[in-house]
Amino acid sequence: MSFYRDSLEELIKSDLYRSLKQVESAQGGRVIIDGRDVLLLCSNNYLGLADHPQLKNASISATSLYGTGSGAARLVSGNMTLHEELEKCIAIFKKCESAILFNSGYSANIGVIQALAGRGDTIYSDRLNHASIVDGALLSRARYIRYPHKDVTALRALLETHKGKGRQFIVTDGVFSMDGDVAPLRELVALKNEFDALLMVDDAHGTAVMGCNGRGSADLMGVSDQVEIQMGTLGKGLGSFGAYVAGSAELIDFLRNKARSFIFSTSLPPSVLAASIAAIDIVSSPEGDRLRSSLESNRVLFSGLLSAAGFNTLDSSTQIIPVMVGGAEQTMEFSRILFENGIFAQGIRPPTVPPGKCRLRCTVMATHSKADLEVSASKFVEAGQRIGVI
């Protein structure tokens, strides 16, 4: 088909063509790619749990007992003991009445937003929210209003303008996935109370790493009991796969009956469920605290070295540390040079980020060694000078 080729050539010409890198080992702080041992600086496996013996053993035992597949959607015959057990674990972990599993964060966001909002309703969404929130809002057919990033004054004006136009929803990432900064949740709570809106927080990057026991960004800011719809993922900090929504028993019952991505999809398999249960055990234990404190000291070390060298890392205050470059070509060149030097930091381009805001989205892990991060920062400086970013 020539339109495939035309479209691909267009991407190649504008340096926006994407290809896959193959990881030939388990996901750790270092991985094997193209037969070479490289430092991995772009994984969301923040605490290193994806390769943790406790998760692996739980997964293997569950497979021996319950098999590899769940065979059906939850509402047919695919509701197994482990689904119920994991949902109970999540409700306790999040200190909520109830929780519901989804097959991924993407699937949770489209399912939840489509179920809750409809024609005539209004969704207010931070401009930098994840693509799955945008897609959920599109599916919902509700009025979709983007507000400038973290700008609560602008949001307030928009709420004032559109008040009375159906049910009102404010949706935000807890930690912004490409910028690594944190949503102003206290202010958003005040606004949703004032305007009688519901607040949904997507905590894909706060879960397991922030707040008491890794309960997430809303816990860190002391407002978790005020966020009606708390979404989080199991595949990032928790090292497994899937996602959840936690909230009131009524909300969860509603989603079980209305969320199409929950209803019309085969449920998560036993191995994944058991790994998630083990992960929540670990993040709620003293080991979880130790991992979070290593993550934090690695973050401080690495982002400190990069900022001191003159890199622009935006407002990052988390393990997600963007290294701003600008153009797509320069960004991919930066990534290529680093890779030649044993560092894998993926370049991020439109449509993931706005044009002209290409970057290397670096993420530190609890399992990185200080020495690796120091060497790596010096390679960033060399490469950054070579391509003229600093």
How far apart CA 76 and CA 26 sit, in angstroms, is 34
User: Nearer Cβ to ligand PLP, position 15 or 135?
Assistant: 135
Chain residues that interact with ligand PLP, rule: CB under 6 A: 104-106, 109, 130, 132, 173, 177, 202, 204-205, 233, 235, 243
Q: Any idea what the Cα angle at residue 230 is, between residues 109 and 281, rounded to 5°?
A: 110
Which residues 6+ apart lie within 8 Å of 102 measured at CB? 108, 111, 112, 242, 243, 244, 245, 259, 261, 262
Q: How far is the CB of 132 from ligand PLP (least distance, A)?
A: 5
Helix (H, G, I), strand (E, B) or coil at 217: helix
Segment (H or E) for 287: helix 286-308
> In Å, how far from its chain's centre is CA 293?
20
Nearer to ligand PLP, 107 or 224 (CB): 107
Amino acid at 47: L
User: Which residues are paired to 266 by β-bridges?
Assistant: 73
Nearest distance from C-beta of residue 102 to ligand PLP, angstroms: 8
Of 52, 150, 236, 368, catalytic: 236
Q: Which is nearer to ligand PLP, 234 or 389 (CB)?
A: 234
- Residue 109 or 363 having the CB closest to ligand PLP: 109
Q: Name the amino acid, one letter, at 244.
A: Y
Q: How far apart are CA 247 and CA 226, in angstroms?
A: 10
- CA distance linking residue 112 with residue 254, whole number of Å: 10
Of 45, 34, 44, 98, residue with least CA distance to 246: 98
Minimum Å distance from CB 171 to ligand PLP? 11
Cα angle value 246/256/239 (rounded, 5°): 45
**Which are the contacts of 318, defined by CB distance < 8 A and separation ≥ 6?**
175, 180, 181, 182, 205, 209, 210, 299
Min CB(109)–ligand PLP separation in Å: 6
Closest approach of Cβ 202 to ligand PLP, in Å? 5
Sign of the CA dihedral with 88 first, then 91, 97, and 98 last: negative
- Active-site entry in 205, 357, 368, 379: 205
The dihedral formed by the CA atoms of 363, 212, 267 and 227, expressed in degrees to the nearest 10: -100
Burial 117-145 (b: 16+ CB within 10 A, else e): beeebbbbbbebbbebbbebbebbebbbb
Residue with Cβ nearer ligand PLP (235 or 270): 235
**Of 106 and 302, CB closest to ligand PLP:** 106
Q: CB nearer to ligand PLP: give 98 or 104.
A: 104
- Least distance (Å) from ligand PLP to the CB of residue 236? 6
C-alpha distances out from residue 162 to 187, 189, 342, Å: 19, 18, 52
Task: Note if 177 is an active site residue.
Answer: yes
**Which residue out of 43, 98, 177, 335 is catalytically annotated?**
177
316 flagged as catalytic: no
CB atoms within 10 A of CB 294: 19
Nearest residue to 322 (alpha-carbon basis) of 349, 296, 297: 349
Find the shortest distance in angstroms from Cβ 178 to ligand PLP.
9
Task: Tell me, yes or no, if 236 is annotated catalytic.
Answer: yes
Whose Cβ is closer to ligand PLP: residue 79's or residue 352's? 352
Closest separation between CB of residue 157 and ligand PLP, Å? 25
Q: Which residue is nearest to ligand PLP (CB)?
A: 105
Give the residue numbers marked as catalytic: 177, 205, 236
